[in-house]
C-alpha cells in the first residue's frame, strides 16, 4: 500500500466531512471545500477519522491513492487553520499597498501594477521598513485552499522576479537568492 495513502486522516473538532457519491465535502470554521474523488478510489468517514482506499494495485491507482489522501488532508487543515504564503518586496522605489480588495504595486515600471485576488484569497501588506537597498515590504497571501494560495503567490512573484545581480524584486520570504558577481574592470 501507499505509505501516505494508508494513513488515516484525523478529523479535528468543528470539522464536518460528508461523502456524497464521489464528492467529498469538508466544512469547518473558516469555510468549506469540495473535492471529486477519482475513479477506483473510495473514501470512508468514521466518527473521528477518514480512510482512503483503492480498488486495485495498478501504478495509477497507487499514485491516486496517496494524492487523494493528501488533498483531503489539505482540505481538513485549510478549513481549520488556513494557509499563508509571504512574499518580500525588495528594492528602492518599490512599494506595495492595499486599495480596497486589490493590491497595488510599484515595481519600477512606468505604471502601477494592480493585482486583483480571486475569491477566497485575502492579501495584506504587513510591514514596510528600511532605507535604500534594504527597503522591504512583506505581502501575505492567505486562504483555505492550499493550491490556490500557492498559485496566487506565484502569480504575484511573476510580476517582478528577483534580479540576479542586485536581488531587487518579489521573492518568497523563505527563498534564498544567490547574486551573480557582475563585471569587473580590468586594470
Q: 14-23: per-residue pLDDT in tens?
A: 999 999 989 9
Please give the CATH number for the structural domain made up of 83-172: 3.90.930.12
DSSP 25: E
For the chain, the domains span 9-80, 83-172
Q: 6-63: per-residue pLDDT in tens?
A: 899 999 889 999 999 899 999 999 999 999 999 999 999 998 999 999 999 999 999 9
Quote the pTM value.
0.87
**Residues 91-122 as b or e (16 or more Cβ within 10 Å = b):** beebebeeeeeebebebeeeeeeeeebeebbe
What the block records as the C-alpha cell of 31 is 469555510
Alpha-carbon gap, residue 124 to 112, rounded angstroms: 17
Do the domains 83-172 and 9-80 match in fold?
Answer: yes
- Among the four given CATH numbers 3.40.50.10380, 3.90.930.12, 1.10.730.10, 3.30.2090.10, the one describing domain 9-80: 3.90.930.12
Amino acid at each position: 500500500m501507499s505509505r501516505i495513502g494508508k494513513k488515516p486522516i484525523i478529523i479535528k473538532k468543528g470539522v464536518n466531512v460528508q461523502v456524497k457519491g464521489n464528492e467529498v465535502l469538508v466544512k469547518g470554521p473558516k469555510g468549506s471545500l469540495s473535492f471529486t474523488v477519482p475513479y477506483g478510489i473510495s473514501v470512508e468517514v468514521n466518527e473521528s477519522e477518514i480512510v482512503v482506499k483503492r480498488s486495485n494495485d495498478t501504478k495509477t491507482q497507487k499514485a491516486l491513492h496517496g494524492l487523494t489522501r493528501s488533498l483531503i488532508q489539505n482540505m481538513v487543515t485549510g478549513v481549520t487553520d488556513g494557509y499563508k504564503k509571504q512574499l518580500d518586496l525588495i528594492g528602492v522605489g518599490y512599494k506595495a499597498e492595499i486599495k480596497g480588495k486589490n493590491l497595488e504595486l510599484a515595481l519600477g515600471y512606468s505604471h502601477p501594477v494592480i493585482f486583483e485576488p480571486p475569491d477566497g484569497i485575502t492579501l495584506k501588506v504587513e510591514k514596510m521598513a528600511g532605507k535604500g537597498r534594504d527597503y522591504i515590504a512583506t505581502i501575505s497571501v492567505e486562504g483555505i485552499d492550499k493550491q490556490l494560495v500557492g498559485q496566487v503567490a506565484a502569480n504575484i512573484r511573476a510580476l517582478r522576479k528577483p534580479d540576479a545581480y542586485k536581488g531587487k524584486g518579489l521573492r518568497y520570504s523563505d527563498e534564498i537568492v544567490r547574486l551573480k558577481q557582475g563585471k569587473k574592470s580590468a586594470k
